Amino acid sequence: MKIPILGTGLSGLVGTRVMELLEYKYDFTDLSFKTGVDITDYDQVFNVCDGSAAKTILHMAAKTDVDGCEDDKMLGEDGPAYMVNVEGTKNIVNTAKKLNLRVIYISTDFVFDGTKDFYTEEDEPNPVNWYGYTKREGEMTVVGADISHAVVRLSYPYRSSFDERTDFVRRIMEKMAKGEKLLSLTDHIFTPTFIDDIAGALDMLIEREFQSIFHVVGSQNLTPYEATGMIAKTFNLKGKYEKVTRQAYFAGRAFRPCRLALKNDKITKLGAKMRRFDEGLMEMKKQLALL
């Protein structure tokens, strides 16, 4: 008998893969536009949840386009970023409180300002753009409520295949395969995360009900320039890529945190397998060979 679970954002890059890998164990109910549910409408959220036997809501839905969110900033609380990332989360939390449900909230490394060498779950968030701000507001809504919860911060997720949206790895692969010019950052640190590992960690957090904040991220911090070189080597791609600075690359766009090296010791000590970037690429290569 599968375990029923409610979820938002299950049609996205991360959500679809989570369902693929965990559908043997869980019976997912999707709260999304595709199923007629707008999470910014409390009544719609409550009615679906009230009719379910699920005890957990996996809340993954968010507006994640950093530049798009920044454009929304002038609209404040009436803008789409705030409505989805904050008001939508409030509706999930209020529903969970009324129905005694657990919430697993998916957040982001962008809640940090990127001024430290690395970040643990104990570091104080300080978002520097509207996307990060709205996600931090969502975090505080979950943590501040009297409900069972876990906050899960992700960073630059990637996977082997997903037709509806490319992640940064497949975008680089496609550009190299076409011989397009690539500009790759040398003064930016990030922590790429293989989505299959995220699914495994979420399974553990659903099952064991830890109440805390977790960095569910990969085990290797590097620059995009280094990552591009590893992608080229792993997949034997000959495309050219040039070094570029953040100042030039992000000119006219929303400000991004400079150093986002997140530590994942907390989740790995619980038994989650979080691969290094080179390991994730090798697994991705194996999976692509089977498609």
Q: Is 90 exceeded by the pLDDT of residue 2?
A: yes
Q: Residue 144's pLDDT is what? A: 97
Q: Residue 181's pLDDT band (boundaries 50, 70, 90)?
A: confident
Cβ neighbours around 245 below 10 Å, total? 13
What pLDDT is attached to residue 172? 96
What angle do the packed helices 195-208 and 13-22 form, to 10 degrees? 60
Residue 148 confidence (pLDDT) above 90: yes
List the Cα angle 8/38/146 in 5-degree steps. 60
Q: Is the pLDDT of residue 33 over 90?
A: no
- Please determine, for residue 108, whether its predicted confidence score (pLDDT) is greater than 90: yes
Quick one: pLDDT at residue 97? 98
| pTM, to two decimals | 0.97
Question: Model confidence over 68-80: pLDDT tens digits?
Answer: 999 999 999 999 9
Q: Write the pLDDT tens digit of every residue in 114-144.
A: 999 999 999 999 999 999 999 999 999 999 9
Tokens 């609209």 sit on residue: 75
Say what the pLDDT of residue 239 is.
84
Ranges of each domain in the chain: 3-290
If you average pLDDT over residues 12-24, what whole number do you get? 97
Q: Lowest mean pLDDT of 33-37, 214-218, 225-229, name the range.
A: 33-37
- Position 65 scores a pLDDT of 96
Contact 182, 240 (CB under 8 A): yes
Residue 95 has what pLDDT?
98
User: Rounded mean pLDDT of the chain?
Assistant: 96
Distances in whole angstroms, Cα of residue 126 to Cα of each of 9, 131, 146, 195:
25, 12, 24, 26
**pLDDT tens digit string along 237-270?**
988 899 999 999 999 999 999 999 999 999 999 9
CB count in 10 Å sphere of residue 228: 26
At residue 291, does pLDDT exceed 80? no
Higher pLDDT, 33 or 120: 120
- For helices 277-290 and 224-234, angle between their N-to-C axes, nearest 10 degrees: 40
Q: Of 15, 13, 279, give the one whose Cα is nearest residue 170.
A: 13
- Checking if the pLDDT of 194 tops 80, the result is yes
Does the pLDDT of residue 149 top 80, yes or no? Answer: yes
Class of the CATH domain delimited by 3-290: alpha beta
- The three-class DSSP label of residue 114 is coil
Q: How confident is the model at residue 34 (pLDDT cuts 50, 70, 90)?
A: confident
Mean pLDDT of 201-206: 97
